[in-house]
Chains A and B, each alone.
Chain A
Amino acid sequence: MTQRETLENWQRAGRTVIHEADAKDLLQRIGIPVPRRDPDHGRCAAKLCHDDYPHKSDHGLVRLGLSPEEAKQAAAEMAERFAGGTALIEEMEEGSVAEWIIGCKRDDTFGPIVLAGPGGILVELIDAAEIRLAPATPQTAEAMVRSGPGARLLTGLRGAEPADKGALADLISRISVFFAENADLISEIEINPVMVRADGKGLVAADALIVLSSNADEQEKLT
């Protein structure tokens, strides 16, 4: 099944918000690294992914810093409380030097755009994201990680290691191309945060969300 067919199937099933576990499956298929699932050692995150609760931590659906055994138990508990969810146990990313947000959406005036900037809790604090038309070429994506106030965070402040800008630019370009090609089906994609490791060591998408366009056929039936 192509990625586009997957999106069409989801839309046909009436889904609008695609939860993290499914979103990550799809992103992995377009070459975006995601955390290892169900590890047998190391620190783990346990999450319950549900289309109706995209903001998981608001509902207590994220538990961090667990052993593999604890994670399984936590996931089982959460699954009991929220029927219809998908439990996700992942290895926690320990080696990142920066957290970034990458998002795509359809702008009313200019159509598909892509955004990249400091992510995680920093999205709440600063308005430092770079925005370009999607699809963004590899050169444009490189400019995005080198421009704006956020760029200094990637070069390594106060002796911190510089982040893998090349991997980040590759992700930006890749996701913007995928979005622009399927912008009729997708209204927004967001990866927040992307855990960016030190230069040369790549990155991993720690959380992801896809919002589909509302299904035109379904809407017709309703009216």
Chain B
Amino acid sequence: MFFHLTEESVPEPNTNQMTTPRPTVGQALDGLFDPRTIAVVGASRTKGKLGQAVLALLKSNGYSGRIIPVNPSGGEIEGLPAVRSLDEIDSPIDVVVLATPVGVALDALETCTRLDVKVVVGVTSGFSEAGEDGHENEERLRRIMQDAPFRLVGPNCEGVVRPASDLQLTFSPMFNDLRPGPVAMISQSGALAGLMALRLGERGVGINAIVSSGNETDLTAADLLDYLGNDPQTRVVLCYVEELRDGRRFAEAAQRLTRAGKHVVAVKSGRSRAGSRAVQSHTGAMAGDDRVISAVFRETGVIRARESVAAVDAVTALAAGRRPAGNRVGIISVTGGLGVEMTDLAESAGFEVPVLDETTQTALSRYVPFYGSVTNPVDLTGVVLANPTYVGRCLEAVTADPGVDIAIAIITFVPDQQFIEALAEAFDNTDKPILIVWTGSARSNASGEALRERAVPVYDSPARAASGLAALAVATGEVA
């Protein structure tokens, strides 16, 4: 713990304390994710300004705590009374959002050192990421943060989202309408966080928290991994990282989580960076940056995804919270071709697609015509579309097979709602992991809401389902 000690007496109109302790990572993040008071520096009435978007999204997503717009002209913004400066706020502030040009943001940050603030979220850009041009700003930022009595997320980030607290501290609409759930996300790129959040949300996968960590001047991916991973609500942590500043701590935190049965899925980009240092030994050449990352991730149980969409596919499967007892996959398909492709992908990822139990085959025979197949992959043929519940019942038969650990149902277009509901029922009637490949979702006469409500993993192609499959059973290693 650090203490902010000052020789001269600094005017502190808001608090009786003469010194303010620097909050620990835990204290700061507790305040960040469940804040009572948020001040938005740069709140504005002008559309297109960052601060306007932050305030509008915070309000429209139903945040129920106190919001204080900060704008030098005062007045009322979005129906809320604005203060002219942070100094005017005479109560503790859990979160200050900086959404102004960089000069104003740094002045506000300086002001925060005199106030009772837990954490600052720096959406503002113009620091180290701007190279030479941002150098002076970066220097000033570091000077302020050196003994600041608060913690900083960012700067140069897209903000923080926590659906359970209706907290939408961001200017980006990519994070709208997420439901609370088991996935925590840490991303050094805000845009990648948006892409991944949107896709997880479309599948009904719930989000515990999202932090766009930006430049990580103070709080790092390792801090956030440790905090969010240890939250009992979190089952899976999804990380997008370009540079791990405290990689050792990140690896150690990840290892603790994976040993405790949680999952960490990470995209580490910048793979192609060539090692430029001259090396004296073979070791130097053999242990290049990228090989070491893969090796350390494997050692610590982190699932490394090649890119963000593969990561989302892996997380989708893990978030359902069902663990397979083994690597035997039962595949049913309304078409032969997709069943064969799925089988190839499953087998090349190290799974077995065994012949089904005789009882299962008999049960399936009631629905499958003679030109289909009831072995595995099961080719139901288009005939099963005649009755909307048949595919669901076939899926139930396969999940009941004692020789099947994971079931995959492949469907194309879907004639009506009952069809989807029968699949959802089959999901409810088993503890085994089920993946659904639904190639025609957007062109079907049925909505996937019954599947989204349950966060059933749904993929649009066998290859993407294979990424989920690999994450499920291996729980470590690489996802293509």
Contacts and interface: CB of A to CB of B under 8 A. Distances in A.
Contact of A105 (B243, B287, B293, B300): B287
Interface string B245-282: 00110010000000000000000000000000001111
A100 B129 CA distance: 43
A133 B250 CA distance: 13
Contact of B247 (A110, A188, A209): A110
B268 to A, nearest CB: 9
A104 B283 contact: yes
A172 interface: no
Interface in A104-143: 104-105, 107-111, 113, 115, 117, 123, 127, 129-133, 140
Contacts of B251: 110, 133
Interface residues of B, number: 21
A31 to B, nearest CB: 20
Contacts of B247: 107, 109-111
B286 A115 contact: yes
A190 B281 contact: yes
Nearest to A109: B247
A98 interface: no
Contacts of A168: none
A21 B380 CA distance: 71
Nearest to B285: A123
B289 interface: yes
B284 interface: yes
Given A110-B251, A130-B295, A132-B299, A105 B283 contact: yes
Contact of B296 (A101, A117, A133): A133
A192 B286 CA distance: 13
B292 interface: yes
A173 to B, nearest CB: 14
Nearest to B281: A190
Contact of B287 (A54, A103, A211): A103
B292 A131 contact: yes
Residue from the set A111, A115, A123 with the largest chain B CB neighbour count within 10 Å: A115
17 contacts: A107-B247, A107-B287, A107-B289, A109-B243, A109-B296, A110-B247, A110-B248, A110-B292, A113-B287, A115-B287, A123-B286, A132-B295, A140-B299, A188-B281, A192-B282, A209-B280, A211-B281
Interface of B: 243-244, 247-248, 251, 279-284, 286-287, 289, 291-293, 295-296, 299-300
Given A103-B282, A140-B299, 16 more contacts: A54-B280, A103-B283, A103-B286, A105-B281, A105-B283, A105-B284, A105-B287, A110-B248, A115-B283, A117-B286, A130-B295, A131-B291, A131-B292, A133-B296, A133-B300, A188-B284
The 7 closest A-B pairs by CB, nearest first: A103-B283, A131-B295, A109-B247, A190-B281, A110-B247, A111-B248, A190-B283
